[in-house]
Amino acid sequence: MLDFKEKEGYRNIIELRNIKQTYDDGKVVIIENLDFLIQDKEGQGEFICVLGMSGCGKSTLLRYIAGLQKPTEGIVMVNGKPVSNDNRVSMVFQQYSSLPWMTVLDNVGLALRYKGVSKKERDEKAMEIIEMVGLAGHEKKYAQYPNLSGGQLQRVAIARSLLANPQVLLMDEPFGALDVKTRLQMQDLLQDIWNKFHSTIIFVTHDVPEAVYLADDIYIMKYAPSRFVEHIHIDLPLERNRYTKRDPRFVELVHEVEDKMINVADGIFSNA
């Protein structure tokens, strides 16, 4: 059972308390006894990666936090309040989620439009983010393939989420469909964004080296009924680049996480 009391110098950003998810009138239990706490250190943020076997509930976890799904039992809190329309969190999916009938500029500024911000102001704010994610010059293109590449479409989604809520960003295997070069570039972009905004990022992936490169902390879920059973703190410098991946400690951490992933799949884990 987690202690949800706030520590000095930290504040609770995300809280999932005693979560249970069942289907078929309770006959099928997918998630049970799941507690999860993310505490943000002021001025630093937190980068969390979630790993686990396919179907263990990683995406469902993000949907709870985003307010897209309610658990059968339990409480989901964002910034100390139950998830609602007033404090919903943006989410970047693996599938391209931009509105193809709208331009890049209008896609990025969409959340501000719903908040009643004037077009002039939202276009100005959207352009700041568009430039930051490397899409300057593409703002008047429609956000669809082949006008934009897969990596560019994901940059649109990230920019839209950042403008909607730069404090918390949920990402569900956002780079899974990208080629290797674009994926590596997107990892570096995300590192730059995190260092700039000091956001709380929860990132679901199946790629262990990607998780080690990006994360402060990695959490591993076991399969049905699912809950978190391993936590690995990544003791690498906060600012990372391609040379970080050549550090012996990086390689050691990748092997450590891989071993824990295999053990969890075999039913062997620390948090019994």
Could you tell me the pLDDT band of residue 272, with boundaries at 50, 70 and 90? low
Helix, strand, or coil (residue 122): helix
CA–CA distance, 216 with 97 (Å, rounded to integer): 27
Q: At what angle do helices 119-132 and 150-164 cross, to 10 degrees?
A: 130
Sign of the four-CA dihedral 139, 140, 143, 144:
negative
Residue 52's DSSP bridge partners are 221
Domains of the chain in sequence order = 1-89+168-272 (3.40.50.300), 97-164 (no CATH)
Beta pairing partners, 19: 34
Tell me the pLDDT tens digit for each residue of 208-251.
Answer: 999 999 999 999 999 889 999 999 999 999 889 999 999 999 99
In the prediction, which pLDDT does 231 show?
95
Q: How far is CA 175 from the centre of its chain?
A: 11
Categorize the per-residue pLDDT at 17 as very low, low, confident or very high, splitting at 50, 70 and 90: very high
Q: Find out whether 74 and 61 touch, Cβ atoms under 8 Å.
A: no
Quick one: tokens of 84?
Answer: 């609602």
| Residue 177 confidence (pLDDT) | 84
- The SS3 of residue 114 is helix
Q: Model confidence at 147, in pLDDT bands (50, 70, 90)? A: very high
Read off the pTM. Answer: 0.92
Q: Give CA–CA dist 124/239, Å, rounded.
A: 29
- What distance in Å separates the CA atoms of residue 222 and residue 87, rounded to the nearest whole number? 29
pLDDT for position 243: 94
Distance CA 213, CA 232 (A): 13
The two three-digit tokens of residue 255, written as one number: 């092997």
Express each pLDDT in 185-204 by its tens digit.
999 999 999 988 888 999 99
- Rounded to a whole number of angstroms, the distance between the first and last alpha carbons of the chain is 11
Instruction: Pick the closest to residue 208 from 267, 177, 151, 250 (CA basis).
Output: 250
